[in-house]
Structure 1
Amino acid sequence: YCTGMVYLQGGTALLLGILALQLVFITAEISDTSQKSRGQGRTPNGKRRQISSDPNGAVSFIQGARRRRPVGVKAGIVNETLGPTTVERDGRFLSLFTIVQFQNQGCAASSGDNGTCLTSAECSERGGVASGHCANGYGVCCVFLATCGQSTRENCTYFVNQGYPGPYDGTGSCQLTINKAHPDICQFRLDFDQFNVAGPEPIDTCVTMTSSLWQVAILCQPFVESIQEIIVMYIDAGVGNTNPVTLNFVTSGPSFPRNWKVKICQIPCNTIYRAEEGCLQYFTGVSGQIKSFNYDPGAGLQLSKQDYSICIRMERNFCGIQYTSCPDTVNNRTHAFTLSGNTQGQTAVSSSTGTLGPNSCNADWLIIPCATNVGRTGLPACIDRICGGTFNTEISTTPSTVISTVKPFRLTVHTNNVEAPGDVGNRGFCLNYVQQPCTNNLDV
């Protein structure tokens, strides 16, 4: 991390006073030392003390009388001790500066956003907005906002609509370019804190509003405006420092008060919270819930033209994973897994599996590697593709719990660009997952 510094400097008058005081200290020390040096080399009665060295290296002090230099002995053999000739300073110099250092760590801004702890000057220089204090008041919590046509390299930048915090009712393309803050960045994490846009058209495409990420996913807000779940995505940043990522929001169609706020955080390559490569969504924990984009059992429609992977981190001492469709309390029959077929009516649509035969999945599907029903007798069927209107690895209208032991735990979502007239009323999917311990018998 970098460090911020705050310098507190005294006034001119105080500086001159301190220098003068220091000069007095030094003068007093020299004077005192000179007095001491003049007193050394004398006997108590005031006569000069002489020193001679014998051949054995012993030192003798001759007091009282002056000792004549022997004949033939040159001057300099007899030495006189005059005391110390250097002045040692005590280090009593008063500091003129106070330096405060703090790390540029994440901080909680007074606005409720995530920011970076910087000095006030550095925050302004880098285009941020100060929102609260940090580092015991020496720094400010700096929040970075960016909008259409801009670029950023700051960690945890918020991509907002034009006119934020107000709504945006225009049409066109809104792009943001993301550059790495450091060459060791491997991923960008996107948190859709606010995403209030128009829903998809009846054919399940997002013509009114799309959010395209490397042509990987297209998002729309469901028709029900009360649904406000935070969507999280992970985008691989590539290798090196020359791989910018462009986020593109395209708006068209009739008037609608749109607004969005996407937090973009940068993830270093060697961190434990980095998602697996190629995973648009990434979940951790022994149990949890995963949904397709735009899923809602009452009004959400499955989106077309989807191709992405959902990954679940395999926790320690767990070797398998089970999936069950979520409860549906809205419809007379469950719509928690409706990927293909006409599921608009009250009659259940059976599951379809595989790639061959009349009940195969060749248009829209969910891939769970080598999946099989829990409790199946006989040899387990190893199915990859599942589609239709029922979550089951066999042809059935009754949902089943499905297990897979293929590692890593990864699901793949695919929908084509044709929904009508064959696919009607599909909601997508909602699945609850529970990882299975390695001690369990995972064959049944």
Structure 2
Amino acid sequence: MFIFILVIAIALDFYVYSAISSLAFGNFQVLALSVYWLSVVLTLIGIFKFMQDTRKGIRTMNPSTNLLFGLAFSFIVAKIFYAAFLLGEDVFRALAFAGKSIFLQEEVHYSMRSTFWSWTGIGISAIPFIGMCYGVVVGKYRYTTRTVKLKFNNLPSAFHGFRIVQFSDAHLGSFDSIAGLRKGIQSILDAKPDVILFTGDLVNNLASEAEPYIEEFQKLKAPHGIYSVLGNHDYSDYVRWPSRQLKQENLERLKQIQAKMGFEMLHNRHVILKKENEQIAVAGVENWGKPPFPQFGDLDKALSGIPLSMFTVLMSHDPSHWDVQVKQHPKTVNITLSGHTHGMQFGIDLPFFKWSPVKWKYPKWAGLYEEAGKYLYVNRGFGFIGFPGRAGVWPEITVIELEQREHQ
């Protein structure tokens, strides 16, 4: 991945340099090129620092690594925007030259790149750059609590007003601030949960990533418990293990850590929550995703024994599971809680308009979806991975408040 990023960065630099070097003259050209080459140096430093730490086996990031790699990532994205802008003009110039060459009976000269267009491209590409830099420094710990009220016919009256607080995709190996994590923990507690549900990806790869944060997660409390499932990263499939035994030991250690945190893992099984002699079911499956992601989840096993009419909440890490299996299952699952997409940690996430590149892979990438009275909620994630920040799509704490449709 790092080699791919490096190749992209170098290719972009050749293209962008040709435009910037022609924009200015004299002392201003020296200044412009100095700023440009500084961006190149900082990008290379950020990429190599991240590669160095990873190859050393460092799985918990430090602030300097995240800052440098985040800056490098921001420069690359800004240059992609700028290069796209330049490419649009270059295509137009090429078509204009070809058209004139064909239809005019005189010598035609290839037009120079527009200085105005080039400066406009710089201004536009500065917007994602500033946004991503903000995401690296501030955005990744800008926790947002979103409350959704849902009405159901089969919800027991005792559970009217019941608050399910969901968080997902912690990716603790990426965290570089205990204070930042504490803000997220406090946001969960401030939501006044009746039950807390964590929908997978506690770590990036190794169980050891979670060990520094055990005491922080032990602060989480809810009257009806804390339940969790595994996400694709929790299986540590992205690490080359010397043996299957060591890989399995890592997974078992992760389960022990979650238990120590106070999480009860629903490993293709369910629990019954009781309140005033009435009951609802909370089920959880192992990760189930479209290839190449693992399909360890056993929905039939998780739902086995739940009465058909009982109100049921399902935790399944990958939202694609809902479309493929859950919504057409004979047992009605009233609401499925997922994560996995992170909203790509980059996008536009407004009440009236939502967009992120991740939508091209996951059409259901953030928020609430409904079909035939069955709901899916995709949490935007608690942590971050890859890009060490969040731009536009902030970390999320979800509150699902259950309501009985005919409650008086």
Larger Rg: 1
Q: Do Structure 1 and Structure 2 share a fold, with TM-score over 0.5?
A: no
Q: Please identify which structure carries the higher strand content.
A: 1
Q: TM-score normalised to the size of structure 2?
A: 0.23
Q: TM-score normalised to the size of structure 1?
A: 0.22
